[in-house]
Amino acid sequence: MSFAGAVVNVRGVVQGVGFRWWCVRKAKEFGVNGYTANLYDGSVEVAIEGDRGLIEGFVEVLKVGPTYAKVTDIKILWYDKPKGYKDFTIEYKD
């Protein structure tokens, strides 16, 4: 396994369309850990850790999103030191 981590910022119509719950399901399908959260600017943040190939596949589905989402932009920040996520959860940002 080739470890990788990424924080992905997803923009477009991504809040109020079930994006975070969809992310949880997809993360479990891909076998990656991390979290997803709505941000105040209307975007969604997705932090992912696991095998780089699995993360790359997950990012590809993030570019499409669930049925009612309309993703217009994605920014990815890669990192290589594990943060130790044990599951994939929904977080609430203050």
Q: Which of 20, 25, 33, 52 is catalytic?
A: 20
Helix or strand holding residue 42 (H, E): none
Q: Which of 9, 11, 25, 38 is catalytic?
A: 38
CB distance 54 to 31 below 8 Å: yes
Q: How many CA atoms lie within 13 A of 16 on its CB side?
A: 4
Query: Any catalytic annotation for residue 11?
Result: no
The C-alpha atoms of residue 87 and residue 94 are separated, in whole angstroms, by 21
Query: Any catalytic annotation for residue 33?
Result: no
* Angstrom distances, CA of residue 50 to CA of 5, 7, 58: 7, 12, 11
Catalytic residues: 20, 38
